[in-house]
Structure 1
Amino acid sequence: MSHYTVCHYEKCYGPPVSYSTHIERKKADGTEHVPYNIKRRDLTRHNKEFIKEAREIGRSAAIEKRLDAVRHQKDADGNEYERKIRKGQICCIEIRMSASVEGMAEIIEQGRLMEWCRESIKWAQKEHGKENIVSAVLHMDEETPHLHVSLVPVVSGESKKQRTTKKRAAKDKEKAEKNGEEVPKKKRRYKKKATVETLRLCADDVMTQWDLKRRQTEYAVAMAPFGLERGEEGSPAKHKDLAQYYKEQYELQRGRLDELLKELAGQEDLVKEKNREILKKDSQIREQEKELNETR
C-alpha cells in the first residue's frame, strides 16, 4: 500500500499570537491552552519545538524578530531607513508536514520519527532560506503526528507586479514600433537610492501555483527514504480545513447517535409490550390460583 506525503501551505491571517496559541498549546498570558481536536492529551508533553530561537523566546517573538529585517534596512551608502509593513499583510505562512496515517505509523514503528522531522525541516530551510523558517513544532497529541513549520515570507528582488508592468511596457513598445506609432512615454517617477538588497514581505511570491506544485514533487523526493511518495498529480482531491473536517465528523456521529436512539426507542416499545404480556399472564395465574383455592 502506498504512503503519501502531506505538505500543505496556508496563509496565516491576523496577528501571530492567534496561531501561536494553538501551535504552542499556551495562551498569551502563559496559561495552558487545550484545543478541541486533541485526541491524546497525555501525549502533549511529547510536542517539540525544533528551532532554538523559537524555543527560547517563543514563536510570535521569533516572527516579529524576522520582520524587523524588513522594517529596518540599509541603502548602498550604509544609511538606515525604515520600510513599513502594510496593515493586514500576511506575515507568516504555515507549512503543515505529515504523511498518511499508515505512513506515519510505520515511521514511528521504525523509530525514525525524529529523523523524519529533521529532514523535513532541512528541506523547508533549503527551499525558503534558513532565516525565514522561524519555528517548527511537532504535534504528537492529535490524530496523526505532524509538523507545523512557520515561514516568514521575506523575499528580495522585483515583485510580481513590477515584473508584470515591465513585460506589459515591453509589449506596448514592440507593438507601437511595429505599427509605426509613437512609443508611449513612461510615467515619470522619482529616482530612489539603490539598496544593497531590498527585502520585502510577499506571501503571493512564495505561494504561486507553479511553485506549490513543484514543492509537492520535490518534498516527496526528499521523503522517499522513509517509504513515502507524492500523491496523485492532478487529483481532484482537495485539502480539507480542520474545522470543516471536525464539523463533518460531528455531524456523522450525530447521525449515528440519532439512529441508535431511534433503535433504542423501538426496543423500549417492545420491552413495554413484553412487560404488559408478563403482567397479563401473571394476573391470569393469580386468578387460576384463587379459583383452585376456592374449590378446595
Structure 2
Amino acid sequence: MAKGDRFVVLTMDKQTGNAGGLSAHIDREVYDANLDRMVTFRPKSVRDDSRTALNRECIEGAKKAGRTQAIWNRLKEEGFSRESSGKKKIVTKGEKKTRKIKDDAVIALCFICSSDEETMKQFEKEGRLDDWIDSTLGWFKQEFGDKNVVSAVLHMDETTPHLHVTVVPITYEEPKPRKEKPKFDERGKPLRKYETDENGNIILDESGRAIVKKRTYKKQEVTARLSAKDICNPVAMERWQTGYAKAMAPFGLRRGIAGSKQKRVPPAEWNLQQVNGQLMAVEKEIEEKKAEITKMAQASWYDKIFNSGLSPTVRKVLEDKEKEHKEELRQATTAVDEDGRPYIWTSGSKKDQDVTWEELAKFREKEKKKAEIQAKADKEAALAKAKADKETAVAKAKADAKAELDAEIAEKNKLYGNIKSLNEKLSKSEESNKLLLDNLKGIREFMFETCGQKFREVVQMILDQWKAGIKHFAKEMKDIFLQAMSFENTTECRKSYVSNAFWYATLLVKTVTDWKGDNATINSLQDDANRIADGTWESYHQKRDQLFDDAVNALVEMGNCQNQRHLNQNQANIIEAFLAFDGSDRTQLCEEIWNVASPKVDYYWRDGTFDALEELRTKELYNRKYGNGRSI
C-alpha cells in the first residue's frame, strides 16, 4: 500500500453453534465452571492491557445480555431452537416444539470493520472515532435490518482499533397457499360441499347436477428464514465492499482493489479449532464428574457397612437417605445444558432416557471427527489443485526461459572466452599489454554494441557515480535500475544482473589510464544496487535519512545550547547510531553531518560545535567523563 493510501477493511466470518471462543475473544470474558460465573479472558492478540478498559459494546441490547445471548434472543424471536440435529437428536425436557437449527447452520455473520493502524489511531486522536462507529452501524442496519444487527464491540487494546459487528442472517418470504384439509363422514367418505343460494338451497347446473363447491385455501403468515446462503454470495459481498466504502468516504477512506485473489483462513479450519476447544472443556468436566461420583459411591458403601443391624425405623431413614444419594448420583452423571435442563435421547434404543456426560462427549467427538474429515478433504483438494496449477505454470515458464537463457549463455561464454584470452596476453609484457589494451577497448565497444541500451545506461551510470566518489544511488537512478531489470522475475536473477553490470563497469575502468577507482566506493555502490534488486532500497534509505536527520538535530541542539561545550551521552549515541548504520568512513560521514548542521548553528558557537563533533569522530570523547555536556 502506497504512502498516503487509506483503505477500508471489511472482513466476514460465518459462525455456527455457540462459538464460545469467538465470544470470549470479542467480549473478553469466559465462563468458569468452578466459580460458576464469568471471568476475565485475555487473548494473545492483546498488545496494551492499559487500553482494555476502552473496549465497549455499542448495541444496547447486547450490553446487558452479552453477544452470544443476544444472537439467541434474536433467533428465539423468530421461533428458532438451539437444539442439535442428526441421527440421534438430543432435546431438552419441558421445551415446546420450535423450528430446529442444524448443527452446521450459520447462525451469525461476524464482520470486522477497520482501516490501517495509523488512520484508526488518528481518528481516536481527532475525536472522530464515535462518528466512524455511528456511520458503520448505520450502514449495517440499512443493509441487514435494525433487528438483525445484534452486537458491535469496539476493541482498543490490540494493534489496530477495530469494530466486531455481529449480524443474524434472517430473511422473510411469502409462503405458498395451503389447501384446506377435507372432512370425512362416519363411513370414512369425504364430505362434499355444494354451492347454495341465499336461502340455503343447492344450486343445480344445466344437466340437473349439484354444483360442487371449490376448495378454499388457507394463507399462511409471512415466515422468517435463517439462511446465510441468501445473504452471502459473491455478488452481495462485492456490493458490501463497495457500499461500505461509499459510507466511509466522508472519513477519507476508499475501497481496495476489486477482485483481489488474497485468501483468508478457511472456515472449516476455524470451526475445527472451536470444536477441539469445546471437546477439551467437556473432557475436563467429565473427569471432574467421575471423581465426584467415585467419592459419593465410597461414602454410600461406608454407610451400608456402618449401619447394618440397625432398627427398622433407623434403617428406613437410612434407606431414604440412600435413595436421595442415588438420585444425587443420577443427577451428577446426567448431562445438562447451560440452563441446567437435562438432555434426553429422542431416538434409538435409549429413547426417552437421560444422556450421560460420557455419552454427550462421545456424541460431540463423533461430530468433531466428521468436521475433521471434511476439513482435511477440503484442504487436500485445494492443495492438490494449487500444486497442479503451480507445476504447470513453472514448467511453462522454465521452457520459455530456457531457450532465451541458452542463447544468452552461449553469447556470454564466447565473450568471456575472448576476454580471458586477452587478460592472459596482457600479463606477459608492457608492449603486448599496450597492444592488448587497444584490443580490449575495441572489444569494449563491441560489447556495448551487443548489449542492450538499458544495460549500457546502467553501466555508464555506475561509472559516473564511481568517478564522482558518490557511494549511493539517487531515486531516479533506482528507477533506471528497475526498468532495466524489469524482465528479471526473481531476486536472484536481479542480483545476477547487478553483478554483471558491475563486472562490466570494473572491466571498463581497467581500460582507463588517467584514473583509478577505489574499491570502497564501488563496493558501497554495489551494495546499494543489491538493495534495489531485493526491494530493500526504500526502507534502507528511509531509515538512513531518518538517522541522518536525528544526528544533525542532535548536533544543532548541542551547538545552540550555551551551557554545553561537548556532546552529552544521548547526543553522542544518536550520532553514533547513524555512523554505525551507514558503516562508511567516519570522517566523510561527520563532514556530511557538519555541512548540513553548520548553517543551523549560531555563528558564535560554530567553532565549538565543530570541535565537539571532532571529539566524537576521533573517539576522544569516550576517554573523558561528561555530565550534561560539561567536562567534569
Residues 214-293 of structure 1 correspond to what in structure 2 (within 5 A)? 214-239=239-264
How far apart, CA to CA, are the structure 1 residues paired with 2:47 and 2:80?
Answer: 43
Residue equivalent to 1:180: none
How far apart, CA to CA, are the structure 1 residues paired with 2:240 and 2:255?
Answer: 10
Measure how far apart 1:158 and its partner are.
Answer: 7.1
Q: Given the superposition, is the C-alpha separation of residues 193 and 26 from structure 1 closer, same or farther in structure 2, using an over 3 Å criterion?
A: farther
Give a deviation string over 1:266-294, Cα, whole Å, max 9, x none: xxxxxxxxxxxxxxxxxxxxxxxxxxxxx
How far apart, CA to CA, are the structure 1 residues paired with 2:248 and 2:101?
Answer: 36
Give the TM-score normalised by the residue count of structure 2. 0.31
**1:130 matched to 2:133:** no
Residue equivalent to 2:157: 141
Give the TM-score normalised by the residue count of structure 1. 0.64
1:122 match: secondary structure: helix
Measure how far apart 1:106 and its partner are.
Answer: 2.6
Identical aligned pairs, as a percentage? 36
Measure how far apart 1:193 and its partner are.
Answer: 5.5
Measure how far apart 1:150 and its partner are.
Answer: 0.7
Q: Which amino acid in structure 1 is aligned with residue 61 of structure 2?
A: E
Contact 2:174–2:222 at 8 Å: present in 1 too?
A: no
Contact 1:3–1:102 at 8 Å: present in 2 too?
A: no
Contact 1:103–1:228 at 8 Å: present in 2 too?
A: no
**1:43 matched to 2:58:** no
Residue equivalent to 1:85: 101
Farther-moved stretch of structure 1 (205-214 vs 63-72)? 63-72
Measure how far apart 1:17 and its partner are.
Answer: 3.1
How far apart, CA to CA, are the structure 1 residues paired with 2:265 and 2:99?
Answer: 36
Q: Given the superposition, is the C-alpha separation of residues 104 and 221 from structure 1 closer, same or farther in structure 2, using an over 3 Å criterion?
A: same
2:38 match: secondary structure: coil
How far apart, CA to CA, are the structure 1 residues paired with 2:252 and 2:173?
Answer: 38
**1:199 matched to 2:224:** yes
Q: Which amino acid in structure 2 is aligned with residue 196 of structure 1?
A: E
Match of 1:111 among 127, 132, 135: 127
**1:12 matched to 2:37:** no
Higher strand proportion: 1
How far apart, CA to CA, are the structure 1 residues paired with 2:217 and 2:227?
Answer: 21
Measure how far apart 1:239 and its partner are.
Answer: 4.2
Residue equivalent to 1:62: 70
Contact 2:10–2:112 at 8 Å: present in 1 too?
A: yes
How far apart, CA to CA, are the structure 1 residues paired with 2:264 and 2:20?
Answer: 24
How far apart, CA to CA, are the structure 1 residues paired with 2:242 and 2:235?
Answer: 11
The structure, 1 or 2, with the larger RCO (C-alpha pairs under 8 Å, 6+ apart) is 1
1:3 match: secondary structure: coil
Measure how far apart 1:196 and its partner are.
Answer: 2.2
Residue equivalent to 2:27: 24
Contact 1:157–1:197 at 8 Å: present in 2 too?
A: yes
1:105 match: secondary structure: helix
How far apart, CA to CA, are the structure 2 residues paired with 1:45 and 1:112?
Answer: 19
Measure how far apart 1:192 and its partner are.
Answer: 9.4
Q: Which amino acid in structure 2 is aligned with residue 205 of structure 1?
A: D
Q: Which amino acid in structure 1 is aligned with residue 254 of structure 2?
A: E
How far apart, CA to CA, are the structure 2 residues paired with 1:215 and 1:105?
Answer: 24
How far apart, CA to CA, are the structure 1 residues paired with 2:264 and 2:250?
Answer: 25
Farther-moved stretch of structure 1 (32-41 vs 103-112)? 103-112
Q: Given the superposition, is the C-alpha separation of residues 141 and 102 from structure 1 closer, same or farther in structure 2, using an over 3 Å criterion?
A: same
- 5+ unaligned residues in a row in structure 2: which ranges? 32-36, 82-95, 177-215, 271-632
RMSD: 2.7
Contact 1:91–1:201 at 8 Å: present in 2 too?
A: yes
Q: Which amino acid in structure 1 is aligned with residue 225 of structure 2?
A: R
Contact 1:96–1:149 at 8 Å: present in 2 too?
A: yes
Higher helix proportion: 2
How far apart, CA to CA, are the structure 2 residues paired with 1:93 and 1:86?
Answer: 16
Measure how far apart 1:136 and its partner are.
Answer: 0.3
How far apart, CA to CA, are the structure 1 residues paired with 2:217 and 2:139?
Answer: 36
Q: Which amino acid in structure 2 is aligned with residue 17 of structure 1?
A: G
1:66 match: secondary structure: helix
Contact 1:69–1:199 at 8 Å: present in 2 too?
A: no
Q: Which amino acid in structure 2 is aligned with residue 6 of structure 1?
A: V
Q: Given the superposition, is the C-alpha separation of residues 85 and 237 from structure 1 closer, same or farther in structure 2, using an over 3 Å criterion?
A: closer
Contact 2:6–2:252 at 8 Å: present in 1 too?
A: yes
- 5+ unaligned residues in a row in structure 1: which ranges? 74-79, 163-190, 245-296
Q: Which amino acid in structure 1 is aligned with residue 100 of structure 2?
A: K
Q: Given the superposition, is the C-alpha separation of residues 98 and 200 from structure 1 closer, same or farther in structure 2, using an over 3 Å criterion?
A: same
Measure how far apart 1:240 and its partner are.
Answer: 6.0
Measure how far apart 1:203 and its partner are.
Answer: 1.2
Contact 1:4–1:103 at 8 Å: present in 2 too?
A: no
Contact 1:38–1:142 at 8 Å: present in 2 too?
A: yes
How far apart, CA to CA, are the structure 2 residues paired with 1:158 and 1:23?
Answer: 36
Q: Which amino acid in structure 2 is aligned with residue 13 of structure 1?
A: T
Residue equivalent to 1:259: none
Contact 2:108–2:167 at 8 Å: present in 1 too?
A: yes
Measure how far apart 1:108 and its partner are.
Answer: 2.0
Larger radius of gyration: 2
How far apart, CA to CA, are the structure 2 residues paired with 1:93 and 1:201?
Answer: 11
How far apart, CA to CA, are the structure 2 residues paired with 1:50 and 1:228?
Answer: 22
How far apart, CA to CA, are the structure 2 residues paired with 1:94 and 1:217?
Answer: 18
Match of 2:116 among 79, 100, 104: 100
Measure how far apart 1:14 and its partner are.
Answer: 3.0
